[in-house]
Amino acid sequence: MPKPKLDLVHCFVPASAPRPANTLLLLHGGDEDEQTPIPLGQSLAPGAALLSPRGPVLEGDKPRFYRRHADRSGDVGDLKAHTHALADFVRAAAATYDLDPARIVVVGFSNGANLAVSLLWLRPETVAAAVLFRPIMPLELERRPDLRGMPVLVAAGTRDRVVAPEEPARLARALAAAGADVVTHWQDAEHPIGPEEISVAREWLLRSRLRRH
């Protein structure tokens, strides 16, 4: 049977840990590309497989995961379309690279974190846990998903000038209302991810029990 087509440009690093190994689905920020989060993934989960797609939308010459309007607000219709496309890509990648679909953890930063949130809302079966660095609530829920047993780490910066503090707080409440096991970590930091947060996220991943689908 032919392998499914992988429609997104991406970087893949095979697992070096013995099976069953986790896979980190790495979703980069708005001024980054698929290579940028690889060191982050290696720090968060040494030995895990790493799957890092490039955002398919260009804003200037920078790849993003969904379009924005002129006022810089997200295009919700475009976000939803790219969310479903990402879920289909992950399913195809799992078949192509022989990944365990029940051991995929999404790790997103900024624009990538927002896509990860949309993935939890619209296609939660795609992942077993989520690490969200500097997320917002990118879309309002028409129907609350069932996220019972889903571990989610929301990592926010107290001095972030890009994401207002009420955004990750509101998101954490919505995730908890959907049944997710949410931990919110506030760091004395601006928008970039610092080494202390990486350590916190690594320890959280080691302690977390992945959701069973």
pLDDT value at 70 more than 80? no
pLDDT at 151: 98
Instruction: Compare 114 and 69 and report the one with higher pLDDT.
Output: 114
Residues tagged active-site: 110, 160, 191
Residue 85 makes CB contacts below 8 A (sequence gap 6+) with 7, 8, 56
Q: What is the mean pLDDT of the chain?
A: 94
Instruction: Identify whether 3 is part of a domain.
Output: no
pLDDT (mean) for 15-24 = 91
CATH number at residue 164: 3.40.50.1820
Instruction: Identify whether 62 is part of a domain.
Output: yes
Residue 169 makes CB contacts below 8 A (sequence gap 6+) with 156, 184
**What confidence tens digit (pLDDT) does each residue in 160-194 have?**
999 999 999 999 999 999 999 999 999 999 999 99
pLDDT at 148: 96
pLDDT at 177: 95
DSSP H helix total and E strand total for the chain: 5, 9
pLDDT at 213: 62
Instruction: Identify whether 129 is part of a domain.
Output: yes
The whole-model pTM stands at: 0.95
**What confidence tens digit (pLDDT) does each residue in 30-52 have?**
989 999 999 999 999 999 999 99
Instruction: Identify whether 106 is part of a domain.
Output: yes
Instruction: Identify whether 120 is part of a domain.
Output: yes
Instruction: Identify whether 95 is part of a domain.
Output: yes
Beta bridge partner(s), residue 184: 154
In total, how many domains does the chain have? 1
pLDDT at 1: 47
Instruction: Identify whether 4 is part of a domain.
Output: no
Of 37, 39, 46, 44, the closest CA to residue 17 belongs to 46
Q: Which domain holds residue 96?
A: 10-207
Instruction: Identify whether 213 is part of a domain.
Output: no
Residue 75: other Cβ atoms inside 10 A: 14
